[in-house]
Chain A
Amino acid sequence: MKVLVPVKRVVDYNVKVRVKADGTGVETANVKMSMNPFDEIAVEESVRLKEAGTVTEIIAVSVGVTQCQETLRTALAIGADRAILVETNVEMQPLAVAKILKAIVAREKPGLVIMGKQAIDDDSNQTGQMLAALLNWSQATFASKVKVSGDELEVTREVDGGLETLAVRLPVVVTTDLRLNEPRYVTLPNIMKAKKKPFETLAPDALGVDIAPRLKTLRVQEPPKRSAGQIVKSVPELLQKLKNEAKVI
């Protein structure tokens, strides 16, 4: 079984993002970019499934600007076998990405798609579910454990009340939660090897997909600032302030 792993290039999670003065977005020039952490977990899980003999080939795919090549190289260094970049400068929204991925699935015929549950830039948490819908596949979102057994995937999902386990019919789109695994460190020999792995670049037109954005961002603003309050010296002082000043207890 082949597995497709979509990965997204995002502002690194350690970067404190700044809203642009003109309110059109956040500053991404000269900012460290990395693979979306949830996608890294997805790549790692695919590699583990391959190591366990469940999966035969791992295809990493990214949709976006030329620099997404770097993100795909990271996926190859973790252990993906080949990469596809659907290159575009258009602002990509989840529905458009899902449509592109659907076209890639039609071409590559994977039995499994594993991707991050959300990207830490727009925090949408949509693309995996949308892809499953467009393919009429089952979906296994927010996964903290997955196991392929026969023609089903058993998935433990992180839900608000705790955990639930579902058996879903293959093929399936899995979206990863934080505790699915801990991604390995990329080693130098693997970075070197990644450079020699097959890498294909496509244009969205070649896939016949409409990627026009549906949502218009009118403006991006700083959230209201929370200013630091006061340092209290003792527990009795804290209690007194909570009772008499904040009046919350």
Chain B
Amino acid sequence: MRSLIVAEHSNAALKPAVLNTVAAAQKIGGEIDVLVAGHNCAEAAKSAAQISGVEKVLVADAVQYAHPLAENLAALIISIAKNYTHVLAPATSFGKNVMPRVAALLDLAQVSDIVRVDAPDTFVRPIYAGNALATVQSGDAIKVITVRSTGFDATTATGGSAAVENLPAAGDTDLARLVGQELTKSARPELTAARVIVSGGRGMGSGENFRILESLADKLGAAVGASRAAVDSGFVPNDYQVGQTGKIVAPELYIAVGISGAIQHLAGMKDSKVIVAINKDAEAPIFQVADYGLVADLFQAVPELTAQL
């Protein structure tokens, strides 16, 4: 058995979810290679070579990989996929975009969003917004998989010394090009990698009111998230969204503020270790999953909490 991990990176650095994906491959067993396709991506490749448990890093450095376009990446991945029994990527917007294209080009099924490996061909994945767990077995010769980070503890980022090999680029498919990006700039940790998350919902009332959450987050070294209701209301950008179709998180501490707790939101955070809910509505469903519930006006409770930390 041999697994290929398709690394998500910014050319300068690897995304943390790569470490969880390597961990999933370790559960499968066999050798593990990492593909770093980018442009001027030597730094990302160097980090990949240091991940504990990685045997080989394949680097495809070409201008058509400067931005991870599914069309170009899939063409590259299928050129080497036959050397592997498993091809894995994190179930982030990157992996979700690229991997089904890879699978279909190879006439393979994909197993999305796995949270557990039962056997090299058998995986557990949540369905129905996490309200059920399906155990699925793949009969395909190559298993194409996306990995939900929260299902696997990150492997160690250092200590490895993988060989780095250059991989010839596949051609530019010329099907797509990047026009622009509006990435949220924040000094706070990334949602999916944060130890503590402070999340706001419709109860926040406005985007400005999110400042009180930001102050609390800064005291705790936390990331700031939001429910779909808060994003749809325009309080915060889409990349704050935690839930079935947003980000799936499982921090040590999740503080839900003014969030009622729709099942779609719970799907994104219910694996958090400790959940705190602050909501003035004592009947809010969020209290049914919270370890600690505080029925209070968030505009008083949150600043009080911040002040006492």
Contacts and interface: CB of A to CB of B under 8 A. Distances in A.
A154 B273 CA distance: 41
B221 to A, nearest CB: 10
Contacts of A219: 134-135
Given A159-B239, A214-B108, A246 B291 contact: yes
A169 interface: yes
A229 B292 CA distance: 6
Interface string B85-125: 00000001110111111111101111111000000001000
B273 A160 contact: no
A215 B122 contact: no
B160 to A, nearest CB: 25
Interface of B: 69-71, 74, 92-94, 96-105, 107-113, 122, 126-140, 174-184, 192, 196, 220, 228, 231-232, 237-239, 244-245, 247, 252-253, 263-264, 270, 273-276, 282, 287-296, 301, 304-305, 308-309
Contacts of B291: 229-230, 246
A26 B128 contact: yes
A131 B280 CA distance: 46
Interface stretch (A60-68, A75-83, A106-114, A137-145): A137-145
Interface in A179-194: 179
Interface of A: 11, 13, 16-17, 19, 26, 38, 93-95, 98, 117-118, 120-134, 137-142, 144, 154, 157-169, 177-179, 214-223, 226, 228-232, 234-236, 238-239, 241-242, 246, 248-249
B139 A133 contact: no
9 contacts: A129-B98, A129-B100, A132-B101, A162-B182, A168-B175, A221-B132, A231-B282, A242-B274, A242-B292
A178 B228 contact: yes
A126 B146 CA distance: 11
Contacts of B130: 223
B131 A94 contact: no
A158 B131 CA distance: 25
A142 B45 CA distance: 28
Contacts of A129: 70, 96-101, 104
B182 A139 contact: no
A16 B267 CA distance: 12
Contacts of A232: 292-294
A16 to B, nearest CB: 7
Nearest to A139: B70
Given A95-B108, A223-B130, A229-B293, 18 more contacts: A94-B100, A117-B245, A129-B70, A129-B99, A139-B97, A159-B94, A161-B181, A162-B184, A163-B237, A165-B178, A179-B231, A215-B139, A218-B137, A220-B133, A231-B292, A232-B292, A232-B294, A239-B305
A95 B104 contact: yes
Given A162-B182, A221-B132, A231 B304 contact: no
Nearest to B144: A126
A162 B240 CA distance: 8
A138 B128 contact: no
Nearest to B136: A215
A214 B253 contact: no
Given A120-B128, A217-B135, A160 B180 contact: no
* 7 cross-chain pairs, A with B, having the tightest CB-CB distances, nearest first: A214-B109, A129-B100, A130-B104, A229-B291, A133-B104, A138-B175, A126-B100
Given A216-B137, A223-B133, A93 B127 contact: no
A62 to B, nearest CB: 20
B292 A178 contact: no
Nearest to B303: A235
Contact of B294 (A11, A16, A235): A235
B119 to A, nearest CB: 10
A217 B125 CA distance: 10
A228 B109 contact: no
Contacts of B180: 164-165
